[in-house]
Structure 1
Amino acid sequence: MWDGYVELAGVEIVNTARAAAYAGAHGIDIACDDCGELADALGDDPYDWYAGVQDSAPWFDPTRPESRRFLGVLGLGVTGLEDGQSVRQPTDLIGDGVALGPLRRKGREMAFTVGLIVLDEAALSYAIGWLAAALRGGACESSACQGDELCMFASCPTSPGGSEELRRLFDVGLLEAPRVESRTYLPGGAIIANVGFLLMAATPQIFSEPLPGVVDWVSLSDGAVLFGVDPDKVYAECKDAVPCVDDPECERPRTPPRPPVPRSPCLPSGKANFRQTLFRLDPRSAPDWFELVPVVELEPGKRDMRRLIIRFWNNPAGSDCAKLSDPCAACFDISVPYVPKGSILLVDGRTQRAVVQCPQEDTGLVASAAPQLYGPAGRSFEWPVFACPTGVCVEVLSQREHTAVDARVRVSLVARGDAA
């Protein structure tokens, strides 16, 4: 992973190109790998101290003059981003051998070394304080325990907007505060302080940008009308394969019954008229050795939406989705009992969290809450993960009388892996 740019919770922490430009304006030559495309990838103007661009630097504070004598943060190295995180804890058996146990990914620990370039000791004190504050992450209460989003580049960005090189990690938080490891004093009083700190990603996978070749926003009001349909009843008719070794003249002992899965009393059921929207995600350049997870964004528009169902099917051959939409063959179901009008529903397979954001016109505030998600026929919900490269068919069912003309949905596929 390239160490020349780091952003945490939307705040630029490391920008080697900016630091080198500001230092060069003061006669300080920084020997570093040139990445002239970084400013373009970030949408920044060329970094130029004399043009006043430092006013846009994240550390600049007009009430603290020493902040102008802080010239930037160099990326000097990072470890922990090239290592796989899969671990397994075997258990010894009474006889020979072990039980392997499940394979799981542990949290990702990342060690950063950066260089703070300052013009004097006062600026260095300010720089260390600013870095410590910025690494604490977002101000939202949720970020205190869940962590924040970390953005870096796999290499110096050269694609438009850096989209091909951009990588994201989620649920990232500070594990060990910044510590000064060494100081280098330059002629004229300038200082370069080497500082180390540790971050931890609770979600260990590294995510690319959404794959190209998928659909944009899809209107839900144009879907075909299905009259008198009970989407849950079909699951009772789904058949499981019967093992061929069972003797029809000798039944196996019956296993104890499992406790029933609780159903929400608010989850609608029974027959209703639905809008059915079918579309295909046929991503180009789907990686062969990385998993894919969906990100669903839905806007119900001017009506409360009830009994929303979203289904996914594997479609590696790019077939007509109308021929694949057998609910019994669906890979994953997402059922949401209620989405209030004017809100935005996000079901994010990257963080495995769902949220409904409700803007409130009278106060200008936005209320956020986690909706209850269900699986097929209101059973337990399972987060969708496509382990093999594939196209995907998506079906959205929404009750006709609760589907507004401006209701729409967008589904993206994102690749995730254990390294950049």
Structure 2
Amino acid sequence: MYDGYAELAGTEVVNSARVAAYAAAHGIDIACDDCGELADALGDDPYDWFEGVQDSAPWVDVTRPESRSFLGVLGLGVTGTEDGQVVRQPTDLIGDGVALGPLRRKGREIAFTVGLVCLTESALSYAIGWLAAVLRGGACGASACQGDQLCMFSSCPQSPGGAEELRHLYDVGLLEAPRIDSRTYLTGGAILANVTFVLLASTPQIFSEPLPGVVDWVPLSKGAVLYGVDPDSVYERCRDAKPCVDDPQCPRPRTPPRPPVPRSPCLPKGKGNFLQTLFRLDPRSAPDWFEVVPVVEVEPGSRDMRRLIIRFWNNPSGAECATLSDPCQACFDIAVPYLPKGSVLSVDGRTQRALVQCPQEETGLVATAAPQLYGPAGRAFEWPVFSCPTGVCVEVLTQRENTAKDARVRVSLVARGDAA
């Protein structure tokens, strides 16, 4: 992972290119890897120090003059982003051998070594305080318990906007606070303080940008009309294969009956008129050796939406989705009983969290809530993960009378791996 840039909770923490430009304006030569494309990838103007004022530096505080003598955070090293996090705890058997046990991913510890470049001692005191505050993460919402998003680059960005090199980690929080390990005095009495800190990502996978070839917003009001159908009743005909080695003349002992699968009493049922929208996500963009998760966004528009169903199928050959619409072969279902008009639903496979945002015109506020999500026919919901290289077909069903003309959906696919 490139150690010259890191952003936590939307705030730039490390930017070696910015530090090098500011230091050069003071005649200080900082030996660091040159990444001249970094400012372009971030959409920044060339970094410049003019008349003693930094350009858009995030640490500058007009009430603290010493903040202008802080030149920024230089990346010196990062570890923990190239290590796989999959572990297994075997259990000894009474006889020979062990039971392997399930694979699981542990949390990812990311250790940073950085340099704080300051012109004065007071600026260094300010810098360490600023860094400690930034690393505490977002000041609002659930970030105090759930963590924040950490953005880095796998290497010095070369692609347009750095899209190919950009990496995201989620649910990241501070594990070990910043600590000054050493100080080096530079030209003119400037100070380079070596500082270490450790972040912990409770979601251990590292995510890329959404895969190319994914469709943009898809309108829902123009879908094919299905009259008098019950989308959940189709599962009644889905059957598992029968055992083929049982002797019909000597049946096996009966096994105890399984408890019934709980189903939601709140999920609408029965026949209705639906709009069916089918679209596919290009299989050529799916990586061969990484898992892929979907990110689903739905805007019901100007009318309350009820009985929303989104289904996913594997489509490795890129076939027309109309040939793959057998619900018994679907990989995953997302069923949402109700979405209020004007809201925005996000079902994020990266963080495995779902959120509905409801703007309130009368107050100008936005209410947020976790929606009720269900699986097939109102059963338990499972987060979609595609573990094999494949394209995806998506079917969206909405009740016709509850689908506004401006209702729409967008589905993105994001690759995730155990290293950058």
1:208 is the counterpart of 2:217: no
**Conserved 8 A contact 2:310-2:396:** yes
1:116 equivalent in structure 2: 116
Note the 1:344-363 alignment, pairs <5 A: 344-363=344-363
TM-score, normalisation: structure 2: 0.98
1:227 is the counterpart of 2:227: yes
Note the 1:135-154 alignment, pairs <5 A: 135-154=135-154
Deviation, structure 1 residue 141: 3.3
Inter-partner Cα distance in structure 2 for 1:52 and 1:415: 43
1:70 equivalent in structure 2: 70
Indicate the SS of the match to 1:382: coil
**Superimposed CA distance per residue, residues 13-47 of structure 1 (whole angstroms, 9 cap, x where no aligned partner):** 00000011011111111111111111111111110
Deviation, structure 1 residue 228: 0.7
**Superimposed CA distance per residue, residues 111-157 of structure 1 (whole angstroms, 9 cap, x where no aligned partner):** 00000000011000000000000000011231111100000000011
* Structure 1 unpaired stretches of 5+: none
Which residue type is aligned with residue 156 of structure 2?
Answer: C
1:17 is the counterpart of 2:17: yes
- Taking structure 1 as reference, are residues 53 and 170 closer, same or farther at Cα in structure 2, changes over 3 Å only? farther
Deviation, structure 1 residue 263: 2.5
Which residue type is aligned with residue 59 of structure 1?
Answer: W
Deviation, structure 1 residue 55: 4.4
Indicate the SS of the match to 1:415: strand
Note the 1:326-405 alignment, pairs <5 A: 326-405=326-405
Please give the root-mean-square deviation of Cα atoms over the aligned residues, in Å: 1.1
Indicate the SS of the match to 1:24: helix
Inter-partner Cα distance in structure 2 for 1:52 and 1:306: 58
1:236 equivalent in structure 2: 236
Indicate the SS of the match to 1:322: helix
1:300 equivalent in structure 2: 300
**Conserved 8 A contact 1:66-1:126:** yes
Inter-partner Cα distance in structure 2 for 1:388 and 1:263: 30
Inter-partner Cα distance in structure 2 for 1:158 and 1:52: 31
Indicate the SS of the match to 2:50: coil
1:272 equivalent in structure 2: 272
**Superimposed CA distance per residue, residues 172-216 of structure 1 (whole angstroms, 9 cap, x where no aligned partner):** 000010000000012322100000000000000000000001110
Inter-partner Cα distance in structure 1 for 2:51 and 2:341: 47
Which residue type is aligned with residue 190 of structure 1?
Answer: A
1:186 equivalent in structure 2: 186
Inter-partner Cα distance in structure 1 for 2:51 and 2:309: 54
Inter-partner Cα distance in structure 2 for 1:102 and 1:127: 45
**Conserved 8 A contact 1:214-1:283:** no
Indicate the SS of the match to 2:357: strand
**Conserved 8 A contact 1:295-1:350:** yes
- Taking structure 1 as reference, are residues 266 and 257 closer, same or farther at Cα in structure 2, changes over 3 Å only? same
* Structure 2 unpaired stretches of 5+: none
Deviation, structure 1 residue 256: 2.0
- Taking structure 1 as reference, are residues 205 and 51 closer, same or farther at Cα in structure 2, changes over 3 Å only? farther
Deviation, structure 1 residue 260: 2.5
2:162 equivalent in structure 1: 162
Inter-partner Cα distance in structure 2 for 1:53 and 1:261: 65
Which residue type is aligned with residue 351 of structure 1?
Answer: T
The percentage of counterpart residues that share the same residue type is 84
1:29 equivalent in structure 2: 29
**Conserved 8 A contact 1:211-1:283:** no
Inter-partner Cα distance in structure 2 for 1:296 and 1:48: 40
Deviation, structure 1 residue 362: 1.6
- Taking structure 1 as reference, are residues 188 and 273 closer, same or farther at Cα in structure 2, changes over 3 Å only? same
Inter-partner Cα distance in structure 2 for 1:158 and 1:53: 29
Which residue type is aligned with residue 171 of structure 2?
Answer: D
Deviation, structure 1 residue 52: 7.2
**Conserved 8 A contact 1:47-1:53:** no
Indicate the SS of the match to 1:209: strand
Note the 1:245-256 alignment, pairs <5 A: 245-256=245-256
